[in-house]
Structure 1
Amino acid sequence: MNLIRIFDRAKVFIGVLVSGDALRVRTMRGGAWLGMGSIAEQAVRFARNMLLARILAPGAFGTMAIVISSASLVDMLTDVGVRAAIIQNPRGSETAYLNASWWIGLGRSIFSYSIIFAMAPWIAHFYDRPELSGLLRVALLSVLFNGAMSPRSALAQREMKLGRWAAITNGGGICGVILTVALSFYMRNVWALAIGYSGENAFRLLLSYVLCPGLPLRHFDRNSARELLMFSRGIFGLAPLNLIISRADIFVLGRLYPLAALGLYTMAVALVTTPSIFCTNMLGQTLMPALSTIQEDAHRLNRVLLEVTSWLLLIGMPAAVFIFLSAPSLLRLAYGARYIAAAGPLSVASVVVFLTVLNSVPTIVLFAKGYPALHRHSVVVSAVAMLVVVYPACRILGPVGGQVAALLATSFGYLIQLILLRSVTGLNLFRYGAALVLPTLGSVAMLIIVLGGRRLGLVVRPSTDIAFCAASCLIPFALCAAVRLRSSNRAHILYASKATESAAAR
């Protein structure tokens, strides 16, 4: 019976999509292209990591983590939001505007690379790693390649031809991964990672001119440039703050501990951060357009927020507990025995990622309501907490301290954002907290099953441990999902009846 109901609801949902307006259909189709492209790229990256973990020393990944983090810091500090401006501005498709944006983007890339080139010896001296200087200068050629992409490539996003954009971004990423793997077999050192990293954007540059042809003109329209720079002021600050939250641990650990330890840490955390980025991106691409259409209806916003959060809790909490319990086995199976040393950071990172995905929903609601400044407040709180806590945590707790600091920073930002959201939509925090009850009970049941099974000696190998933890996760999840579906159906029926009564009263 439940399967029939689910099938009927799926038919209705698909019917709405098919019969909906052109914008909705294009949005869903574009989201599907982006989703498929992202899944393909991340799958290839995961396979690359599994392979390279057995070819390269952990220190190579630690060195590359410092290279990418240092470059990201400079790159984000000079970000002017060229691509976002093209998508947002009504004149974005005009040749003069595209041309001005290309020259500004290229100039910004040259400026960023010049800073990186000049700072490279200083960064190498700071970490006492002379090889960092050359690696930074080679790997961050990617900044120049990114700035020189076809001026018309942003139109693929603006016009919602997202299949073409996925081919450029994800296709370039996959080509770069293949190049990295090929070079690793030949070079067997960190230079393969550095060249492959810059190669990703080199392939994107090439694909952008193949799929979105159009050379920039020499003419530079000052009015268009002025509009673009005015837009960039509104988004300034968020990227560097988010970078502090996500990369401060790398800077500190790279200074305090050997690069091999940093490499183990980076690869372990990557197991969960990659799915997190995918989930938050997909939530943003699907929820943002929908919530923007009902931004004036606070009751409906809160209802959607609670519904989505309930399902994220129901799916995410058992998944986080699964990773927390099976971290050593996952690392051994994915990367090899030497990576088991990073089980602690992976366990804590699973909780950090879980909170990050949960926090993305209130963030989307604030943006849909037109209050990005309130989100900035929560990001500032998280960044300050990270800066205060990360060094002592890493110093006292070792590499796991990096994720402990991230957990504290994420938790503070999450709580602040919920309080701010309450002032905007009138969110009932008690009802929000009540959504925790069901997944918490399921996760506790999972803990009892797994720990009891280990106590009885039922698990002897990593593969068996992972399978046992996964089964222990699925059973409570299935029971909780059935309860949640029933309560959700009752809530939808009640809401529909109230809406009908309200319409009849009018």
Structure 2
Amino acid sequence: MFLSFGGAVGALSTFARNIIIARLISVEDFGIAATFGITMALVQMSTGLGVDRLIVQATDGNEPKLQATVQAFNILRGVVLAIIMYAVASPIAHLFDLPELIWAFQWLAILPLITGFVHMDAARFQREMKFGPSVLVESIPQIIAVALSAPLALYFKDYRVMLWIITAQAVSTVVLSFIVAKRRYSVAIDREFLNRIFSFGWPLMLNGILLFGIFQADRGIVGIAYSMEDLGWFSAAFTLTLFPSMVFANAAQSFFMPMLSKVQDDPEKLEAGSIATIKACLMIGITISVGLSLAGPAFLLLLFGSDYVGGVAIIAWLALMQGIRMAKAGPTIVAISCGQTKLPLYANIVRSFALVFALIAVWQGWGVLGIVIGGIIGETMAVIFFLVLLSRKFGVDLSLLYKSVVVSIVLVALAIVLSSNFATGQDPVLEIAGSILLTLVALGIFLLFAMDLVKWLKQSGEGQPETQV
């Protein structure tokens, strides 16, 4: 739970940082700043081998030579990535139609070089259930970034603020990793440990590439196919809808995973817990979809400013996409709780096919909304595929979900219709108040068809989860 708190602090800090920057620079400059984030996400997510997890999970993870080899590997990875990023800075800048900013993308090459020197002791402490150091190393740099956002944005008044902020984050992460460390920093090259790093990390690297496609590719396509101003308001709307889904997904994982892990060897209790988890995530997805469909335009203009009005037309659809993604968190939690970590990977492969729909949308001239619709189709396909996998792997009776799914579809569809006709962001008090009221009504209706979820949660709280849902 402590790690989830740290993740929530990090997500909230990133959200606040983006709002501050968006308020103080132009929409076009915010779009340019977004290209830096997209580029760094591609580098980090497509080359991450999860070496911190290896230290935590390996039986010999406390071995000094393993840690030294991991740290040496991080340095080598940082050097290689720095060289590659510097070399491809020009193609990337031209891809986003920003040839005058080649220097800025070359600047980004410094970042993996800096973070390559992170001390891995914070990860090692997790083996002893000491999560404080990891939370500090993860959260404090984000908080520093928030503190620097306003003064740097006021000073530079353009996209350069993001370059300085992400550089400050990288430096502070490395410095903090050394501050919390107890073991002396060292590097070593051990062939056996290197082989283990690659064998352990390649599935995580593949999943990272898929996750980039899920979380960042839509923004990348918008940045390549349309203007930086379009990318600016799209990024603002995307950030607004992504933030609650990330926080709720982490909270749901922390809450349900321990309970499911305890009953994974009892088929009846596992099925009951699985259905309850999926219904709970579906309920949270309704909250996100209905709430942000109706209040999203008002929050977008209140938080980011009237210059981002372009995002009003798509925010209900982005809310739907994030709501479906939240629903997908249910089967993900079930699979991970039972040690089936490959199942989320398979679902993400299915989700990645949405990129085809996004490219077709660009080709057909359907605009940014077409790209978002492609994402909705991809998320829906992934959820259906994932549920079928759970049914085959664990024998989960999907008929127990039919009523909840149908009710969810009706409620969200109604919210989108109302949003299209009434949610403009021009009357924020009325729209937000109406959103709260209608969201509560939607949750009440959902629970009328999911009373078994309430019973299961009550039984679980008493330490005796129900065996039938």
Please indicate, yes or no, whether the TM-score normalized by the shorter chain is above 0.5.
yes
- The 3 A distance-change label for structure 1 pair 238 and 453 is closer
* Percentage of pairs with the same residue: 22
Q: Deviations over 1:292-329 (max 9, x none)?
A: 33322232222112112223333431431121123322
Q: Deviations over 1:117-155 (max 9, x none)?
A: 110011112222124322223245332232211131211
Task: Indicate whether 1:257 and 2:226 are aligned.
Answer: yes
- The 3 A distance-change label for structure 1 pair 125 and 498 is closer
- The 3 A distance-change label for structure 1 pair 366 and 475 is closer
Whether contact under 8 Å (1:142, 1:199) holds in the other structure is: no
Whether contact under 8 Å (2:236, 2:300) holds in the other structure is: no
Whether contact under 8 Å (2:351, 2:379) holds in the other structure is: yes
Return the alpha-carbon distance in structure 2 between the equivalents of residues 294 and 378 of structure 1. 24
- The 3 A distance-change label for structure 1 pair 145 and 485 is farther
Residue 483 of structure 1 and its aligned partner are, at CA, apart by 7.3
Matched with 2:78 is 109
Matched with 2:379 is 410
Whether contact under 8 Å (1:177, 1:200) holds in the other structure is: no
- Show the 5 A alignment for 1:291-370: 291-370=260-339
Q: With structure 1 as the length reference, what TM-score do the two structures score?
A: 0.83
Return the alpha-carbon distance in structure 1 between the equivalents of residues 167 and 153 of structure 2. 15
**The one of 438, 443, 454 aligned to 1:477:** 443
Task: Indicate whether 1:36 and 2:5 are aligned.
Answer: yes
**The one of 383, 392, 401 aligned to 2:360:** 392
Return the alpha-carbon distance in structure 1 between the equivalents of residues 441 and 96 of structure 2. 48
The count of aligned residue pairs is 464
**The one of 380, 400, 423 aligned to 2:349:** 380
- Partner AA of 1:95 in structure 2: P
Task: Indicate whether 1:433 and 2:433 are aligned.
Answer: no
Task: Indicate whether 1:488 and 2:457 are aligned.
Answer: no
Return the alpha-carbon distance in structure 1 between the equivalents of residues 416 and 34 of structure 2. 34
Whether contact under 8 Å (1:139, 1:195) holds in the other structure is: no
- Show the 5 A alignment for 1:79-478: 79-383=48-352, 385-395=353-363, 396-437=365-406, 439=408, 461-478=427-444
**Structure 2 unpaired stretches of 5+:** none
**The one of 25, 36, 41 aligned to 1:72:** 41
Residue 37 of structure 1 and its aligned partner are, at CA, apart by 3.1
Return the alpha-carbon distance in structure 2 between the equivalents of residues 340 and 97 of structure 1. 52
Return the alpha-carbon distance in structure 2 between the equivalents of residues 108 and 356 of structure 1. 32
Q: Deviations over 1:36-67 (max 9, x none)?
A: 33343433433333332221011122112222
- When Rg is computed on C-alpha atoms for both structures, the one with the higher figure is 1
Return the alpha-carbon distance in structure 2 between the equivalents of residues 107 and 465 of structure 1. 52
Residue 263 of structure 1 and its aligned partner are, at CA, apart by 0.6
Residue 442 of structure 1 and its aligned partner are, at CA, apart by 6.0
Whether contact under 8 Å (1:378, 1:414) holds in the other structure is: yes
Tell me how large the CA RMSD over aligned residues is. 3.1
**Structure 1 unpaired stretches of 5+:** 1-30, 500-506
Whether contact under 8 Å (1:75, 1:112) holds in the other structure is: no
- Partner AA of 1:49 in structure 2: N
